[in-house]
Amino acid sequence: MAPAPARTISGEQAAALVRSGMWLDYGAALTQPDVFDKALGARAAELENVKIRSCLTMRPRAVLDADPECRHFHYFSWHFSGYDRKQHDAGRCNYMPLNLGEVPDYYRRFLAPVDIVILKTCPMDSDGYFNFSACNIWLRAIVERARVVIVEVTRGLPYAHGRENGVHVTEVDYIIEGDHAPAAELPNPPPNEIDRAVARRIAAEVEHGACLQIGIGGMPNAVCTLLLESGVRDIGVHTEMLTDGIAELYQAGRITGARKTLDPGLITYTFALGSSALYAAIHRNPDFLCCPVDYTNSPQVIVQNERVISINNTTQVDLQGQAASESDGHRHISGTGGQLQFVRGAYGSPGGKSFICLASTYEKRGQRRSRIVLNLTPGNIVTTPRSDVMYIVTEHGMVNLKGKSVAERALALISIAHADFREELERQAYEHRLIPRGVSF
């Protein structure tokens, strides 16, 4: 029997489909619904124990505004934005640990079917597809596992070429007319002097024909700025997140993808967040390829490109090389994302290199503190284990920890800590026998 044709309904009619106890899914970033969310928020008093999965929330959620005590809605996130972090601090949002590239498999193997998925999409194209825009990630897996599929169409999203980057009208149960607001933007502040100092060291390691993965944050984006100033050419891109810095390199002619093994000539990514200029660069541009995250982030896929350069931020590193990139003690900040998978993929890539970067210090309660420490802050989550870390970079230097003993690691990391903390770190390292007495390297 042929599926029933999708019906166009209002946001209020769509929200009326929700029952207490259901699991809903809002997708991620640019695909999170707004009209539906507002209508569902208005029903808060009628519902109990409605659970909503999301990722990288870019606009305030009406369901949370309508239910500050979480008596009706419970919000879960695969990766925190600044908004999600504030909601977590207020007890309204809970994190779901992951390796980002594994999430499609979580939906297909480990999670119960989603009761309703509601995704913001581009209007239906001539082939009957609602394009996911610049946010493919695990959306196909959710659609496959959802009992009810609702799309909220909007003209505000860029149309993104890609693989499996849409849902066909025959798979859709209901269509909502969206508000057609422009896509949410992520501010991209200019790099500071510390960002540029770190980026300068990493940019010097990027060869002609290298294949880039750029993480979120000022330092990774600063590398793009430095590469614009260098003579590096024929850069390729196979990344999780597409950033403004990558778009600027592309528009300057530095990215050709000519030497990529996979998707030669194309910029491969799974989601984009940035400015309207980034979205304009993507819109109907066949040079950009938006793919499912189990393709972009799989180490087994990443290693097939040569000279992969993986660049990611961290917030704290201990003297053995453990990188804690997602929490401040028990306060969750962001998420594992794809950091570990790209670190491993870059290591396996012929000529590949992974860089974990951080400023050597930070300010807390008016006091300057070192980000390189003897022990991680209690409760801090290890994002990249010491066995996987390759290069660690601060404004004071760069060290490679592969093949190094604990003693060599401690000494190397102390050498790139801020000068004001090196003596104390060395004393602690000897005191706790990380460095044996009398040894020299």
Q: Which residues are catalytic?
A: 240
Q: Please list, residue by residue across 190-229, b when 16 or more beta carbons sit within 10 angstroms of its beta carbon and e when fewer do.
A: ebeebbbbbbbbbbeebeebbbbbbbbbbbbbbbbbbbee
* CA–CA distance, 394 with 202 (Å, rounded to integer): 10
Kindly give the pairing relationship between strand 129-131 and strand 367-370.
unpaired
**Residue 284 structure tokens:** 């109907």
C-alpha to C-alpha distances, 303 to 224, 341, 353, 390, nearest whole angstrom: 22, 11, 11, 15
Burial class (CB in 10 A: 0-12, 13-18, 19+), 374: middle
Report DSSP state, residue 265. T
Assess contact for 239 and 213: CB atoms under 8 A: yes
The residue written with tokens 């009406």 in the block is: 62
Spatial distance between the Cα atoms of 425 and 374, rounded to a whole number of angstroms: 7
Cα separation, 329 vs 295, whole angstroms? 32
Whether the Cβ atoms of residue 121 and residue 167 lie closer than 8 Å to each other:
yes
Interstrand relation of 316-318 and 323-324 (parallel, antiparallel or unpaired): antiparallel
Q: Which of 353, 426, 358, 363 is nearest to 395 (CA)?
A: 358
- How far CA 409 is from CA of 187, 356, 361, 392, in Å, comes to 36, 14, 19, 10
**Strand ranges in 231-352 using DSSP code E only, listed in sequence order:** 236-238, 241-242, 267-269, 271-272, 288-290, 308-313, 316-318, 323-324, 327-328, 331-332
Sign of CA dihedral 159, 161, 163, 169: positive
